[in-house]
Amino acid sequence: MQILIHAADAKQWQTAIASALPTAKVMTSNAALEDRQNADYLVAWQPPSWLFEEQTGLKGIINLGAGVDSLLNNPSLPAGIPIVKLRDAGMAGPMIDYVRYAVLHFQRDFDCYARQQRRFQWQEQPLVPKEEWGIGVLGLGAIGARVAQALSDDGFPVHGWSRSPKTLDGVTCHHGESGLTALLGQVKSLVTLLPNTQATRQIINAETLAALPVGASLINPGRGSLIDEAALLEALGMAEGEESVDKTDGEGRGRLRGAVLDAFDTEPLPADNPLWGHPRVLITPHMAAPTPRHAALDQVIETLKAWQAGEHVPSVDPAAGY
């Protein structure tokens, strides 16, 4: 079995895979051309087009992340090759922490207290109990389901939404278009953990934002493509093209209370993007849930062994886009 790695830390992956599969030949994409020929399997994060033009005998691809949008959008990706993505692989834990922090940012009024501090203002805000703080989680996949259940265990009423019907302990599950409308009307924080597909593109738009109760908040660690940024700015109370709203205050404009955003259409987020300057937006640089190598390695090895043994491994549905 010949395995080719394409990743920022390819050398470490090469060492780890070679030691787990001693009979395999493990190569990296930055090796000399003669040392990276005829791979059977590609283990990669965002491989460049030239790799597919060069490797014409691939039998399977392992995507070193949960999101396969970049891979599926690669114009040189050959059709018909099974693609396996990481499922949780240690990402759900950090994602739960990220979303929990973001929910508490609004539910415990930390956003408000940060603004009050800038005004030297000592004023306690009335506490909305968790039981009255509905949370919507869009996407109940390997990571989304864990996030929804953790928030439910924390005591929040949680509503989840997926493409197919689901049952999850402690979570009111919705699906389909009518399910989304039902969910939006009852949540104070909306968390987007959907993949980037044709069907989810700009799913957070003027219409969906208007369906949220006034004062709701948006938390997006999913993908930038899920959000219509102009509609988000409008809902936050800032028109497109306006440089910034009042930086010292930022209260009282727009129907959306605030947003915590980790993923963007263009990354890094360009310096002239008005979201940077918005006083009710918290921006993080796509750090919500990095992939820990040890957990990912277990899944990579398991998949390679199964493929070697001729077993079927559940793979990405290119038509659905995830």
**Least distance between ligand NDP and beta carbon 221 (Å):** 4
For 192, phi then psi, to 5°, come to -105, 110
Nearer to ligand NDP, 171 or 209 (CB): 171
Provide CB contacts within 8 A for 282, sequence distance 6+: 102, 105, 111, 258, 259, 260, 261
Contacting ligand NDP within 196-215 (CB under 6 A)? 196-197, 199-200
Q: Are 24 and 17 in contact (CB under 8 A)?
A: yes
Interface characters, 218-247, with ligand NDP (x: CB under 6 A): ---xxx------------------------
Work out which of 130, 286, 293, 305 binds ligand NDP, going by CB under 6 A: 286
- Answer for which of 66, 84, 187, 204 binds ligand NDP (CB under 6 A) is 66
| Residue 262 interacting with ligand NDP (CB under 6 A) | yes
Question: Are 111 and 258 within 8 A, CB to CB?
Answer: yes
Q: What is the Cα 126 distance to its own chain's centre?
A: 32
Reply yes or no on whether 105 is catalytic: no
Question: Which residue among 100, 175, 201, 286 is the active-site one?
Answer: 286
Minimum distance of ligand NDP from residue 138's CB (angstroms)? 7
Angle between helices 92-107 and 144-154 (to 10 degrees): 50
Residue 201's Cα: distance from chain center in Å?
Answer: 13
Tell me how far apart the alpha carbons of residues 278 and 258 are, in angstroms, rounded to a whole number: 9
Active site residue 108: no
Cis peptide before 314 (omega within 30 of 0): no
Query: Six-digit token pair at 256?
Result: 């959306």
Binders in 9-48 for ligand NDP, by CB under 6 A = none
How many Cβ atoms sit within 10 Å of the Cβ of residue 271? Answer: 7
**Contact call for residue 322 and ligand NDP (CB under 6 A):** yes
Measured distance CA(246)–CA(224) in Å, rounded: 25
Region from 4-12, 149-157, 192-200, 296-304 binding ligand NDP, contact rule CB under 6 A: 192-200
The answer to whether residue 259 forms part of the interface with ligand NDP (CB under 6 A) is no
User: Is 239 in contact with 233 (CB distance < 8 Å)?
Assistant: yes
Residue in 105, 223, 257, 280 annotated catalytic: 223
Coil, strand or helix: which one is 15?
Answer: helix
Q: Are 217 and 162 in contact (CB under 8 A)?
A: no
Report which residue type is found at 131.
Answer: E
Classify strands 158-162 and 217-220 as parallel, antiparallel or unpaired.
Answer: unpaired
Closest to ligand NDP by CB, 111 vs 262, is 262
Binds ligand NDP by CB under 6 A, chosen from 4, 42, 71, 143: 143
Residue 192 forms beta bridges with which residues? 138
Q: Which residue is nearest to ligand NDP (CB)?
A: 141
Nearest distance, CB of residue 86 and ligand NDP, angstroms: 8
Shortest Å distance, C-beta 249 to ligand NDP: 30
Q: Binding to ligand NDP (CB under 6 A): which residues in 73-102?
A: 91
Stretch that binds ligand NDP, among 26-34, 112-120, 134-142, 209-217 (CB under 6 A): 134-142
Could you give the residue numbers annotated as active site?
A: 223, 286
Contact residues for ligand NDP, defined by CB under 6 A: 66-67, 91, 139-144, 161-164, 193-197, 199-200, 221-223, 262-263, 286, 288-289, 322
